[in-house]
Amino acid sequence: MNGLKTMVLMVTLTLLLVAIGGTLGGRSGMTFALIMAFGMNFITYWFSDKIVLRMYRAKEVSESEAPELYEIVRRLAHRAELPMPRIYMIDEDQPNAFATGRNPSHAAVAVTSGIMRILSKEELEGVLAHELTHISHRDILVSTVAAAIAGAISYLAQMAQWAMIFGGGRDDEDRGNPIAAIVMMIVGPIAALLVQMAISRSREYGADEGGARISGNPRYLASALRKLEMASQRIPMDANPATSHMFIVNPLSGGGIVKLFSTHPPIEERIARLESMSLRK
């Protein structure tokens, strides 16, 4: 059911991008939006893992450099029937982790130095099992493509704003309706954000459940999430908002209205679901 929901949301995002292109620029705008969607999806599919790992200055580590980490990942990957992913370390005090890669055969798991310091071995198992579930479900590719399309929608809206300010655009049959364009400039990016949030949140719940099953104990991940949530509020991280959905907990601190637009489900709800799984065992 989650897979069907995600597919519907992805199609909705793509259609929204094309509709905004058509509203802002008529047939030529629609064509431009389609080309943009194709180009961004191509780049995302082949290069997103390299881009995000370089963005956070992640360093690939060998088994001799991180033997315990390798042992945990290898054991969990075997349980999940996945190829051994590459392992990266990020020199950041905030405890966090993410997975990336276009498919299980080209996957990587990255952890911060902070997470290695504060989690027990069992809690780290819960976190890594969560990330391996993302790899198994190909969630990272889906979420990254969604982020790329949402970014393209925001970009189109900004282009339209500048065109109106400086009197751009042609007065011909390809020009979009100006009133509809204004509405799209306001509503489009908000709608794209909401769809992206829906995709990211549904995938997080699925990864929590899968991670709990792979690790063998839902309480491992529940305990880790408590620690990670508290630490992320105390220890800042210079994270790019466009990649915040990739981390196991939101690396960007903030409350109030910011939390309403978070790509992550509430930690309390995630923990409650994990604990209910533990009670059913």
Helix (H) or strand (E) holding 112: strand 107-112
Rounded Cα distance, 212 and 206, in Å:
10
Cβ proximity of 263 and 197 under 8 Å: yes
Q: Which residue, 194, 146, 187, 152, is CA-closest to 29?
A: 152
Rounded Cα distance, 231 and 22, in Å:
45
Among the options 123, 125, 131, 204, which is catalytic?
A: 131
Rounded Cα distance, 31 and 41, in Å:
15
Q: Which residue, 139, 141, 265, is CA-closest to 205?
A: 265
pTM over the 0.85 mark: no
Q: What are the two backbone dihedrals, phi and then psi, of residue 90, each rounded to the nearest 5 degrees?
A: -115, 130
Task: Find the domain containing 259 and state its range.
Answer: 2-280
- Over the chain (281 residues), the average pLDDT of each successive run of 10 is 56 71 72 76 79 92 96 97 97 95 92 97 98 89 68 66 55 54 62 61 88 95 96 88 84 58 81 86 57
Rounded Cα distance, 237 and 228, in Å:
13
Rounded Cα distance, 159 and 229, in Å:
37
Active-site annotation holds for 131: yes
Model pLDDT, residue 269: 93
**Total domain count, the chain:** 1
Cβ proximity of 63 and 89 under 8 Å: no
Rounded Cα distance, 147 and 44, in Å:
10
